[in-house]
Homo-oligomer: A and B are copies of this chain.
Amino acid sequence: MARINENYLKLKAGYLFPEIARRVNGFVESNPDAAVIKLGIGDVTEPLPPAIVEAMHAAVDEMASRDSFHGYGPEQGYAFLRDAIAENDYKGRGINIGADEIFVSDGSKCDTGNILDIFGSDNTVAVQDPVYPVYVDTNVMAGHTGPAGDDGRYEGLVYMPCTAENDFTPAIPEQKVDLIYLCYPNNPTGAVASRETLKSWVDYALANESIIFFDAAYEAFITDESIPHSIYEIEGAEKCAIEFRSFSKNAGFTGTRCAFTVVPKALEGKTASGETKPIQPLWNRRHSTKFNGVSYIVQKGAAAAYSAAGREQIGELVRFYLENARLLREGLEKAGITVYGGVNAPYIWLKTPGGLKSWDFFDTLLQKGHLVGTPGSGFGAAGEGYFRLSAFNSRANVEEAVERFQKAIG
């Protein structure tokens, strides 16, 4: 009798984005002429930069000829890409991360989920609240939690509330936690972590032998020079942190699929008997046993993101979305809304007017403005009363959205 993993049954049925889709579809059916603008899901809208397009065409041509054909590549990624990452994202910023500490993958969503494979099931896990739902759901699937309570929080996880009251910067936990998910620039709040904030986390992790899962998928949107792009800018972080990076939001790879994870060789974990073991060989083993490398064509495209032309074109893309964020932020502020984020991040996090519940505000905005955003409560209990708008859209849509927003809540 084949037995299922019953932890899956603890997962709440109504995942955020399907519920949004359900409500939007219902609205569109009743209002077929409404031109709905979607600022909900954080998906890029602009085409791939020309340097990347060119590199992928060349790679497709290589695959078309026997002499330049590529079969199985190294599971960890081709040296040309790992070297480019090490050089540009780390060494170029004075960070000592080597190519053999970089694991190329097909997405940070996969990596932040799969990373739990190499850790025991007896760790105490802390997440920010609101939070990217994948961190929580993958812990539920792995059996690290009890059932969910009425507020949607799962027993056994340590939730760290991020609200206006603490400036969306959670307090360091008073209890000992073993695995800590941090996302900066933050999805969904758009908050960033100062050097001091990150240092306090690294100090905590080193003191408690914890490991930080640092999701830096949005680092390209940092314009403030005092804000670290990588947790490894903090001394000692290579002994307590794994970093997740992606080409999705900077190079527009949400549909092209490429990301990477940094597992420093200095990082260690413990066995039940207290023996110390390096983490990098465990991830290497997982990656080479349960993964077979990213498409050669896609890796060639990702590598082109580091060429001179690629860097310039990506810079332009990022500035375009940041300008969208500014327009949204300022337009909403003009409408009297309290707005957070949207400066070093592509997300606008706003307090719902009149203390409306997140889902009620979602319905108002959809009905009156034909606008779709994401209810803050969908990201966690502490997101109730907040709402997320994404800056990933065309300029025309963003300008139109601001006007509609102002009318809808007027």
Contacts and interface: CB of A to CB of B under 8 A. Distances in A.
Interface of A: 1-6, 8-9, 11, 15, 41, 43-48, 50, 53, 56-57, 60-61, 63-66, 69-73, 106-107, 109-110, 113-114, 117-123, 134, 137-138, 141, 176, 178-179, 208-211, 252, 254-257, 269-272, 277, 279, 282, 285-286, 288-298, 394
Given A5-B117, A66-B394, A137 B289 contact: yes
A4 B63 contact: no
Nearest to A281: B8
B270 A2 contact: yes
A365 B31 CA distance: 73
Nearest to A211: B2
Looking at A122, A176, A290, the one whose CB has the most chain B CB atoms below 10 A away is A290
Which 3 pairs across A and B sit closest by C-beta, in order of nearness?
A3-B120, A113-B290, A43-B71
Nearest to A298: B295
Contact of A3 (B1, B66, B123, B294): B123
Nearest to A257: B295
Looking at A113, A257, A288, A291, the one whose CB has the most chain B CB atoms below 10 A away is A257
A292 B217 CA distance: 15
Contacts of A294: 106, 257
Contacts of A292: 106-107, 109-110, 254, 257
A58 to B, nearest CB: 10
A5 B118 contact: yes
A288 to B, nearest CB: 8
Contacts of A254: 71-72, 292
Contact of A289 (B6, B46, B113): B113
Contacts of A109: 290-292
